[in-house]
Chains A and B, each alone.
Chain A
């Protein structure tokens, strides 16, 4: 199994541009999450989903949007990129034993 796959691995955006971070999992997990990681801040929850068609805000949702049209895919969209969104983004899914499976991350710079 591939697990949780994130693309792209790296991206540089200009202020005001938009982009979508892709996340897909092949483990048939219902629960999926997006986190951002900043130095010294740990991981902050941006959005989460409990199943196809159901999403909800986490700790730091401003400036982001998500959708969940299928169990496998949970893309994260940045509409108007800002320097404050420079971060490493991790997608995760939750297995039946409460364990989170993480993707390898997307390093995003907004200049």
Chain B
């Protein structure tokens, strides 16, 4: 069964600093990988996804992530944090079998300091 581990429940960065949110996954078949963002009192929005092809994927708002099969990782980065990036971020894995169930990590709350 697939699973997701997000390292760090809280991450704090200064405005303009690098954002790095870590995600490791487990999957018995080639996975689909996602990052979603949740702003307060809202549902989740897709930031980016990896299905096949290029392992470096770019998403909205300047975020990108790299699929590293050998490390079973899919870390999320952004070169320069903005105050508006403060939110909760969820890594997720889905398998192309059995209902395409998407399993989420516990989330990482990103704080951005002025």
Contact = CB atoms under 8 A, between A and B. Distances in A.
Nearest to B44: A102
Interface centre among B9, B34, B43, B100 (most CB of A within 10 A): B43
Interface stretch (A12-20, A39-47, A69-77, A78-86): A39-47
Given A43-B90, A43-B104, A48 B9 contact: no
Contacts of A105: 42-43
A50 B99 CA distance: 6
B44 A90 contact: yes
Interface in A71-111: 90, 92, 94, 97-100, 102-105
Question: Taking chain B's interface residues, is the majority helix, strand, or loop, or is none over half, making it mixed?
Answer: strand
11 contacts: A31-B99, A41-B106, A42-B6, A43-B44, A58-B101, A59-B103, A94-B102, A98-B34, A99-B46, A102-B43, A104-B43
Given A40-B106, A98-B34, 20 more contacts: A31-B100, A35-B104, A42-B4, A42-B90, A42-B107, A45-B102, A48-B99, A48-B101, A49-B99, A56-B99, A94-B100, A98-B49, A98-B100, A99-B46, A99-B49, A100-B34, A100-B36, A100-B46, A102-B44, A102-B45
Interface of A: 31, 33, 35, 40-45, 48-50, 56, 58-59, 90, 92, 94, 97-100, 102-105
